[in-house]
Homo-oligomer: A and B are copies of this chain.
Amino acid sequence: MLIVQKFGGSSVADPARIGRVADRVAATVRDGHQVVVVVSAMGDTTDDLLALAGAVSANPAPRELDMLLSTGEQVSIALLSMALAARDCPAVSLTGGQAGIRTNGFYAKGKIIQIDTRRVRAELEKGRVVVVAGFQGVSEDGEITTLGRGGSDTTAVALAAALEAGLCEIYTDVDGVYTADPRVVPDARKLEVISHDEMLELASLGAVVLHPRAAELAKLYAVPLVVRSSFNNGPGTLIKEVDDMEQAAVVSGVAHDANVAKIGLFDVEDRPGIASRIFQELAREYVNVDMIIQGAMRDGRNDIAFTVSRDDLPRALEAVRRIQDQVGAKGITYDDGVAKISIVGAGMVSHPGVAAAMFEALAEAGINIAMISTSEIKVSCVIRREEIEEAVRVLHRKFKLGSGS
């Protein structure tokens, strides 16, 4: 079987760890598999490079930052290939460009538009492990572009899709996908199998084992994924297409994200095109908007509230202030003391009353809900940040997700 294995920065942080990754890859080859490995930059390399950039320029150009940062993965692929060869496991390293990863050319936030797999396939046919630099590709003009956050996960899943790999293994520093964050809920249970839809919701909701972009791509191309630890031999969590949705758990897990801020525009004009104007302006600033609530209208006026990542709050505020007059908003409020809690489950779609049970459990614990957003397989609530851990424990218990349940 052709397997794509992805190892993050902490898994290749020093030569000893690179050696352990090489041991694992070599063992997979001995088991009779073809292997493509995707690696990130070693440990703190990216931070070190950013510090150098900061020391020479207050405002480095994205193109030059990509030129700089892409060296981090290039170092990792060379070292891992050497470590594999030292284990009599023939290997060849390829930069993103050499591996045929074409991007749209946007610096610092490139998107993969195509993968020309000829070189990778040719190397696999020669019996080599192919070690590919994650997080990077080249544009049509041959410019090096990095893929932004979650880039290495995305490289791995995209390669697995393009090569029609039998499995894509994401090695990380946790054992798999849990019913809730084990640091918050001590009896949280590792899930053996979940659906792509559930993984996508969990990834988007702040469960950090897999980046949402990669989860989305895995769902789109039905790539079978495993999330597992690079520090032990546990089986991890398998993410696959679930054939029988009726069999799925009603609630698979509780996810939370403390890195949330809320922005409100009140008394905006109630006419067509207003919401579109607001969210276009935010998109231009590359602010990802998460939950959106449009309040009850009264006298042709409207309130609009939405959440963004806390990091994006300054840019988001700038954007809405710029268009405040255009959309006739009387005022702008913001709150960076909030958090988001969500329940996710593929079986939710066929079980009414799950959302009500969630609201009831939070109310019983005296936790106030500021915003609500739902999809077919998840319910999210915005609450005060200081209540988030208590909320996770309450819901984990309510839906009987614990190992003692």
How many angstroms from the CA of A163 to the CA of B165 in the assembled complex? 47
CA distance A67 to B80 in the complex (A): 11
CA distance A48 to B123 in the complex (A): 29
With A67-B93, A93-B67 given, is the CB distance from A60 to B77 under 8 Å?
A: no
On whether the beta carbons of A56 and B18 are closer than 8 Å, the reply is: yes
Whether A290 sits at the interface, judged by CB under 8 Å, is: no
Task: Tell me, in angstroms, the Cα distance from A12 to B82 when the chains sit together.
Answer: 28
Q: Which residues of B contact A291 (CB under 8 A)?
A: none
Additional A-B contact list (8), CB under 8 Å, known A71-B75, A98-B143: A52-B75, A56-B79, A56-B80, A56-B86, A60-B82, A67-B77, A68-B74, A68-B82
The verdict on A57 contacting chain B, using a C-beta distance below 8 Å, is yes
Q: In chain B, what residue has the closest Cβ to A83?
A: B56
Closest residue on chain B to residue A77 by CB atoms: B67
Q: Is A394 an interface residue (CB 8 A)?
A: no
CA gap between A63 and B144 in the complex, in Å? 21
**Secondary structure dominating the interface of A:** helix
Within the assembled complex, what's the spacing in Å between the Cα atoms of A53 and B64? 26
* Contact sample, A vs B, 25 pairs, CB 8 Å cutoff: A22-B56, A53-B78, A53-B82, A56-B82, A56-B83, A57-B83, A57-B85, A58-B86, A61-B81, A61-B85, A63-B92, A64-B79, A64-B82, A64-B85, A65-B78, A67-B74, A67-B77, A67-B78, A67-B93, A68-B74, A68-B79, A70-B74, A71-B74, A71-B75, A97-B142
Chain B nearest CB, measured from A47 CB (Å): 14
**Residue A233 is within 8 A (CB to CB) of chain B in the complex:** no
For the complex, give the distance between the alpha carbons of A53 and B92 in Å. 15
> Which of A65, A74, A78, A86 counts the most B-chain CB atoms under 10 A from its CB?
A78
Contacts of A356 in B (CB 8 A): none
Q: How far is the CA of A71 from the CA of B15 in the complex (A)?
A: 17
**A binding-site residues for B, Cβ under 8 Å:** 15, 18-19, 22, 49, 52-53, 55-61, 63-65, 67-68, 70-71, 74-75, 77-83, 85-86, 92-93, 95, 97-98, 142-144
A95 to B136, CA, bound (A): 15
Q: Are B59 and A75 in contact (CB under 8 A)?
A: no
Q: How far is the CA of A358 from the CA of B19 in the complex (A)?
A: 58
With A and B bound together, what is the CA distance between A86 and B75 in angstroms? Answer: 27
Say how far A92's CB is from chain B's closest CB, in angstroms: 7
Name A15's contact: one of B55, B64, B81, B93 (CB within 8 Å): B55
Do B81 and A64 touch across chains, with their CB atoms under 8 A apart?
yes
Contacts of A64 in B (CB 8 A): 78-79, 81-82, 85, 93
Q: What's the minimum C-beta distance from A59 to chain B, rounded to whole angstroms?
A: 7
Could you say which residues of chain B place their CB within 8 Å of the CB of A18? Answer: 56
Q: Is A78 a contact of B68 with CB atoms below 8 Å?
A: yes
The 9 closest A-B pairs by CB, nearest first: A15-B55, A68-B78, A71-B71, A57-B82, A67-B78, A57-B86, A56-B83, A60-B82, A64-B78
